[in-house]
Each structure stands twice: as C-alpha cells, then as structure tokens.
Structure 1
Amino acid sequence: MKSYEVNFDGLVGPTHNYGGLSYGNVASQSNSQQSSNPKEAALQGLAKMKALMEMGFQQGVLAPQERPDVAALRRLGFAGSDAQVIERAAKDAMPLLVASCSASSMWVANAATVSPSADTADGRVHFTAANLNCKYHRSIEHPTTSRVLGAMFADQKHFAHHAALPAVAQFGDEGAANHTRFCRDYGQAGVEFFVFGRSAFDTRYPAPQKYPARQTLEASQAVARLHGLSGDGVVYAQQNPSVIDQGVFHNDVIAVGNGEVLFYHEDAFLETDKMLAELQAKLGKCGGNFQSICVPRSQVTVEDAVRSYLFNSQLLSRADGSMLLIVPEECRGNERVWQYLQSLTSSGGLIREVKVFDLKQSMQNGGGPACLRLRVALNQTELAAVNPGVIMTAPLYGTLTQWVDKHYRDRLSENDLADPQLLLECRTALDELTQILKLGAVYPFQIN
C-alpha cells in the first residue's frame, strides 16, 4: 500500500500582527510593533501550499484560531460584553490584549506531535496537542487545536488524539518543531527523533543561560509513551544550550530531517557522534540507511542560520528519490548561506534542488517554511479517511484566496487590535471557513 508524507500548512489568521511576544525568537523581537499585512501573509502561505501541490506533493490546510481570545481575557478578570472586555484590556493591560490577538497558531509545526501507524502499538496515527506553556500567547492554543485536529482526523479506527501534557514547566512541549521521523518508506516502521532543550528533573543535562529551553526531555518521553512507541524506534537528543542562547528556540531552526536524511548545523546538538550512531543503528534495524549532512560552522555560522532560517526549511523526497529543499527568500539574501546552498546542490549529493519562497510576513514574526507545516505520514486508507475538505486542490486554493481577499485587512497595527470590529470580522471569516473546510463547530463562539 502506498504511503505519503502530507504537509498540513497553517492558514495565517486575520489578526496576524507583530507583537514581539516570543522571547528567545530573534525575528519576533526585532520586528516588534511594526505594522503587519494579514492579507499578504495569508496569500503568501497559500501560494506555498499551491506550489507544493502542483509539484505533486500531498498538501493540506490547517485552520487558524479565533482571535482575539475574549474568553482568555475574561479568565484574567476583564468583564462585560465582548466589546467592553476588549476596551478594558486595551486601556488597562495592552500587552494582554496583544497576546490574546496573536496569530501564532499559523505555525502548526507547534500544533502537535504526530506518530504514524507504522510506529505505534495499536496501529493508529497518534496526535498529541502541544501545551506550548513556555509562552502565554501560545499556551491558550491547544484546546482549539485539539478540536480542529479532531475534525480533520475524525475516524477513531485510524486516528487517536491525546490531550496536551500538563501545562507546567516540567512538561514543556512544543510539538513537531522538536520532532523528526526517519524511515525508509513512510508506510514502514521508522525511528522517531525527539530533541529537547533541558531536563526538568535530571541535573546532569546542562541548560541555556540566556533564553529558555522550551522542550523538556520528560515531555518528549511522555509523548512517546502516549503514542505507544517502542524503545527501539525512538532516539532522544539534547539541543546545544549555547545555540539556544543564540536564538535557536526550536530544533527546526538548526536542523531538518526527512526520509533517511538529517540536515543539520555542526553546533546543533550535544554528543552529536553518539546521537548519529544511535540513529544509524536503529534505522538500520528498520531496513533503512541513515545519512546525514553536516553544515560546518566555518561556512555558515549559527547567526547566519538564525537570520536566514536555512534549517527552518522543508526537506522533501521526490518520486525519483532525489531531495528538494524549500527555503525562505532570506536564504538568498545571505551571501554565505546562498553560496553554501549553491555548492550543496551542485555537488551531486542527496539534496539536488533548492526552491525559494517569499514568506516575509511570517519570517518577520519568526516563522519560516518548516514552522508553517505539520507533517503527517499516512497510508492510502488513512488518507482516504481524512476530512476531504482540508486537502488542498486547485478549486480549494481559489476559494481560499477569495475568502482571504474578502475578509482580511491589508494593514494591522497594535492600535487596531483594540477595535472590537476586528473580533466581529474574525468570527465572520472563521464561520465561513469552517463551512469551506467542512470542519463543523470548532471555535468557542460556535460552541457556546
């Protein structure tokens, strides 16, 4: 039976703004308070989805969340009508209003961790929504994320959904941004690679000194248990604390993997040789041939990687066995990174082609091509069981671009977030979107 890696990209929400909310994310902080363009952001993301679909890759779409999150503001003590809640938050606690308006759910690499049926004990595809408890504006996402994923992957015969881990620092979980799967074929058993920044309970593991390590070893181990993964099919690795302190807030900012290949920076991990040997041994038991591409610091510095998002790329396996790397325009704008990529593709190695996409609106907020997608390995039967409304097609692309043109603003500043009309615009748009994507009632305003 044929199997696929399906990329479900996050659709940028109507409140896309530059709030500078993500401490440790250099791009997010450096572009704080600039005016954003939600319409352009959504159209840039849709253009990438369409391009990958036209290249022959299976492509889906994951809906954004309701923002501002008025219910979250009410839990923080703001009372009255929806308009009054927004007005009072803007007057008394503008940072909380900005957080409640964040469109960060667009980066669906943080939505969940996904294990395919070939790896799990019960033979189902398992999803665990990420608690994202390191940042308040992201910690409020997982209830809606769970409902949306449940509406997309509803057949309990094929799909299993787990609630987010306890929302405490010891179980900080950032989802697939710190998780990669290696396999010979998407339908065969593989090795799931969990990268953590610190241990909550074991002091033998060093921690960064400047920026927070968002993913804990204990969270990764809990997800592996929930998904019924075998110890022979799991590898844990620690991210280098010094690169976290340089702005590498997730593993997908310093490494990316797919199939049998890991593409990583020389400074990405601790005990790299031991980690590579374990990946090679365990993937070999699954019939695979693990291969790695190390980018030396002498050619690309960590700062270059963070500024260009070289590793926040999509590494895609094509039908002829070659590999394609999807990178943001910022890679072409960095001389050292672009020179490295040119030498990489001309060497006749594993990665044969690089394609560049303009994702400036997302990039300025700290998210590149890899942030915008959640990978789900599915066999033909499982793909047929996915809600067909979320699978990208040419007609759906046309419908969604028209929907964006109709509902999205082309400029949004911090002051605009205090406009109660923005909430009404968002709810109207999302109500229509759930009908387009055939999701049913997944948003609080539709349920309550």
Structure 2
Amino acid sequence: MQAYEANFDGLVGPTHNYAGLSLGNVASLNNARNYSSPKQAALQGLQKMKALHDLGMVQGVLAPQERPDVNALRRLGFTGSDAQVMQQAAQQAPEIYRAVCSASSMWTANAATVSPSADTADGKVHFTPANLTNKFHRSLEPITTGRILQAMFADNAHFKHHQHLPDNDHFGDEGAANHTRLCSDYATSGVELFVYGRYAFDSSKVAPQRFPARQTLEASQAVARLHGLTEANTVFLQQNPAVIDQGVFHNDVIAVGNRNVLFFHEEAFLNKQQGLQEIQRKFSESSPLHFIEVSNQQVSVADAIKTYLFNTQLINLPDGQMVIIAPTECQEHQGVYRYLTELCQQNTPIKAVKYFDVKQSMQNGGGPACLRLRVVLNEQERAAVNPAVLMSETLFATLNAWVNKHYRDRLSEADLADPLLLQESRTALDELTQILKLGSVYSFQR
C-alpha cells in the first residue's frame, strides 16, 4: 500500500509576539520586545502551506492555542473578570503575563512525536503530545494540543493517542524537533532516531553547561515504549552538549532527515560514529543510506543557527525528487547559499532547494521545519483524517479571509494586556474550530 508523508503546519495565532521567552534560542532572544505582525506572520505561514500543497504534497493545518491563557493566570492566583485577571497579571507579574501570551504553538515540530503504522506493534499511527516542561510558556500547550490532534485524527481504527509524559523535567519531551524517521520507503518499516540532550537520572553523564538540555533520554525511551517500537527500529543518540551551549536548542536546528537521507552538521552528535553505525546497521539493506555531513569549514555552527540551514524541510515531491524547503535567510547568506547550490549538484538524493519567506517566524526563533509536524499516512489512514484540516484552494481562501478579518497588523508588548485582544482571539478561534470542524477544543468553549 502506498504511503505519504503529510505535513501539518501550525497556524500562527492572533497574539504572535516577540517576548524573548526561550533561553537557549538565540533568534528568539535577539528579537525580544520588537513589534510583531500577527497578520503578516499568519499569512506567511499560509503561503508556505499552500505552496507545498501546490507542489503535490499532503498539507494540513494545525490550529493555534488560545492566548492569553487566562486559566493559567487564575491557577496562579489572579482573580476577577477575565479583563481584571489580565490587567493584574500584566501589572504585577509582567514576565508571567508575557509567557501566557506566547504564540509558540505555531511551531508544531514541538507539538508531538508521531510514529507511523509501519513501525508500531499494533499497526496504528501513534501520537504523544510533547510536555515541553523546560519552558513555562510551552508547558501550557499539551492538553489543548492533544485535543486538537484527537479532533484531526479521530478514527480509533487507525490512530492511537497517548497522554503527554509526566510534567516533570526528568521526562522533558520536546516532540518531533528531536525525532527523525529514516526509511527506504514511507510504507515500509523504518528506523526512528530519538535525539536527547541529557540523562535525567544520572548527573555524572556529560551535559551542556550554558543552556538547558530540554530532551532527556528517559523521555525519548518512554515515547518509544508508548508507541510500541522495538530495539530493532529505534536509535537513541545524544546531541552534542557543546552545540546546545551555542544555541542549538533542538536537534532540528542542527540535523534533518527524510527517507534515506540524514543531513547534519559535523558537530551535531556526541559519539557520532557509533550512532551512525547503529543507524546504518538497523536501516534496510535493500536501499542505500546517505549521510550528508556538513563540516565547520563549509558552514559554521553559528551560521547554521543564523540561517537555519538544518531547520529546513527535507521532502520528497510526488515525482520522487527530494528537495529542501529553506528560509530566504539561507539564500541571503553567501556561504550557505553557495553550499546549498553545490549540494544539489552532488551525487545525493537532494536535487533542489526552494526558498520561502517566513521572517516573522524566523525572528521568533523558528524556521520551516519548526512550523510543521510530519505524519506518515497510508491511503486508508489518509482517508480517515478530518478532511476539513487538509489544505485546498477553498481552505486557503477561507483561512486568508479569516486572518484578514480577525488579526491585528501590529502588536506591541503593551497591546497584550488589552482585554479586547482576548475577545478578538476567542471570536477568531471559535470561528476557526467551525472552519476546521474540530469541535470544542478550547477551554473557553467547554
């Protein structure tokens, strides 16, 4: 049976802002407190989704979270009407208030880890929402993320949903941003590569010193168990602590894989050779496996972070051609552009690069790969997906009109405390759940 890799991109939320909340994310910190444009960010994201749809890809939309999260503020002791809660928090605890206004759910690479049916013991597609415990603003996401995923993939005959891991740093889980699947064909069993930053229960092991390692080995192992994976089709590989300390907060900032290609920087992994040998050993012998390693001399870690060379999408088009979906920052950087141009001329499966403007996302610390959750589906599973979330000419036009109707052109930090913003956001999201036929996934609807 034929299988496809579908991409589900996060729709940028109405409170998209630059709060600089993410320690270890250089781009996020560098742009803290700047004015943002929620409307421009959402429209840029939709353009990227539509472009991939036009290339023949299966492309879906993942709804944003409700922000500001007034329920979280009430749990923290702020009282009164919603407007009073917002204004109290903004005045008394501005750092907390900025956190509950974060639009970080746009980066759906952190939404969940997904294992396709070809890999799992019960032959179902498994979803585990990421708990994102390392950052308070992101730890608010998993319950709503789980509801949204269940509304998108509702057929129990084909899909299995798990609760997110315990809300504790020992089981810090960042989702697909630290997970890559390699296979000879999407329909066949593959090797699932889990990349972790540290050991939770053994402090004697090497770990980064400057920035936090957000993913633990124990979390990765737990997700693999939940998904019914085996030792034969999993590899656990530690991210190089030195690159985490340089601002590589997730593995997808330093490596990306697709089918039979793993594209990575030479400094990406600790115990690199041992890990690559294990991947090679467990990979299907009937198809060649390509390790494309970028040296420091070709592209430095700093330039890889600046341009998000590896935070790109590596996809197979319907004609079989493998291409890189890169941000325009890669095109504008002379050294990175030269490297990518030369890469396409070499004897690898990667034959082309397509550049997209996602600057509103880039400035907040996320490139094209951050914006999408990859879900491998066979024909029966694809038919079981909620069709209202799949990109089409009609949905593209509808969502563009929805954004233009509800989103603000410009948002400052001070604007986040405007009670009208909450009202605008809830009105928008209520309408969105009807467009995408999600039901009541938000707390204010329940």
By the TM > 0.5 criterion, same fold?
yes
Query: What per-residue deviation string (whole Å, max 9, x for no partner) do you get for residues 163-209 of structure 1?
Result: 11011111000000000001111111111000000011134531001
SS at match of 1:300: coil
Residue 114 of structure 1, CA deviation: 0.3
SS at match of 1:284: coil
Output aligned runs, 1:202-351, within 5 Å: 202-203=202-203, 205-284=205-284, 287-351=286-350
> Where does residue 353 of structure 1 map in the other structure?
352
Unaligned stretches of 5+ residues in structure 2: none
Conserved 8 A contact 2:184-2:284? no
> Where does residue 156 of structure 2 map in the other structure?
156
Conserved 8 A contact 2:55-2:317? no
Residue 348 of structure 1, CA deviation: 4.4
Q: 2:415 matched to 1:429? A: no
Conserved 8 A contact 1:359-1:368? yes
In 1, Cα distance between equivalents of 2:253 and 2:431: 34
Q: Structure 1 runs of 4+ off > 4 angstroms?
A: none
Output aligned runs, 1:329-408, within 5 Å: 329-408=328-407
Residue 350 of structure 1, CA deviation: 2.0
Conserved 8 A contact 1:243-1:267? yes
Output aligned runs, 1:409-424, within 5 Å: 409-424=408-423
> Residue type matched to 1:47 in 2?
Q
In 2, Cα distance between equivalents of 1:204 and 1:271: 16
> Where does residue 132 of structure 1 map in the other structure?
132
> Residue type matched to 1:301 in 2?
S
> Residue type matched to 1:386 in 2?
V
> Residue type matched to 2:256 in 1?
V
SS at match of 1:202: coil
In 1, Cα distance between equivalents of 2:128 and 2:423: 31
Residue 336 of structure 1, CA deviation: 1.2
SS at match of 1:352: strand
Query: What per-residue deviation string (whole Å, max 9, x for no partner) do you get for residues 210-231 of structure 1?
Result: 0000000000000000000011
In 1, Cα distance between equivalents of 2:384 and 2:119: 19
> Where does residue 445 of structure 1 map in the other structure?
444
Q: Please identify, of 194-203 and 427-436, the stretch whose mean Cα deviation from structure 2 is larger.
A: 194-203
Q: Please identify, of 225-234 and 313-322, the stretch whose mean Cα deviation from structure 2 is larger.
A: 313-322
Residue 346 of structure 1, CA deviation: 2.3
In 1, Cα distance between equivalents of 2:287 and 2:59: 25
TM-score (normalizing by structure 2): 0.99
In 1, Cα distance between equivalents of 2:129 and 2:318: 31
> Where does residue 34 of structure 1 map in the other structure?
34
In 2, Cα distance between equivalents of 1:109 and 1:373: 5
Residue 332 of structure 1, CA deviation: 1.4
> Residue type matched to 2:99 in 1?
A
Q: 2:123 matched to 1:123? A: yes
> Where does residue 55 of structure 1 map in the other structure?
55
> Residue type matched to 1:215 in 2?
Q
Query: What per-residue deviation string (whole Å, max 9, x for no partner) do you get for residues 389-412 of structure 1?
Result: 101001100000000000000100
> Residue type matched to 2:348 in 1?
G
> Residue type matched to 1:345 in 2?
C
Conserved 8 A contact 1:279-1:290? no
In 2, Cα distance between equivalents of 1:320 and 1:20: 41
Q: How has the CA–CA distance of structure 1 residues 82 and 180 changed in structure 2, closer, same or farther, with 3 Å as cutoff?
A: same
Percent sequence identity over matched residues?
65
SS at match of 2:60: strand
In 2, Cα distance between equivalents of 1:290 and 1:129: 29
Residue 149 of structure 1, CA deviation: 0.3
Conserved 8 A contact 1:107-1:372? yes
> Residue type matched to 1:55 in 2?
L
SS at match of 1:411: coil
Conserved 8 A contact 1:21-1:29? yes
Q: 2:16 matched to 1:16? A: yes
Q: Please identify, of 324-333 and 12-21, the stretch whose mean Cα deviation from structure 2 is larger.
A: 324-333
> Residue type matched to 1:356 in 2?
Y
Residue 288 of structure 1, CA deviation: 3.7
Query: What per-residue deviation string (whole Å, max 9, x for no partner) do you get for residues 255-299 of structure 1?
Result: 0000010000010001111111111110126x4432110011101
Query: What per-residue deviation string (whole Å, max 9, x for no partner) do you get for residues 82-107 of structure 1?
Result: 00000101110111111111000000
In 2, Cα distance between equivalents of 1:356 and 1:348: 21
In 1, Cα distance between equivalents of 2:204 and 2:74: 41
SS at match of 2:236: strand
Alignment: residue pair count:
446
> Residue type matched to 1:271 in 2?
N
In 1, Cα distance between equivalents of 2:80 and 2:410: 28
- Superposed CA RMSD in Å reads 0.9
In 2, Cα distance between equivalents of 1:33 and 1:305: 24
Unaligned stretches of 5+ residues in structure 1: none
> Residue type matched to 1:189 in 2?
S
Conserved 8 A contact 1:3-1:377? yes
SS at match of 1:396: helix
In 1, Cα distance between equivalents of 2:235 and 2:6: 23
In 2, Cα distance between equivalents of 1:114 and 1:18: 29
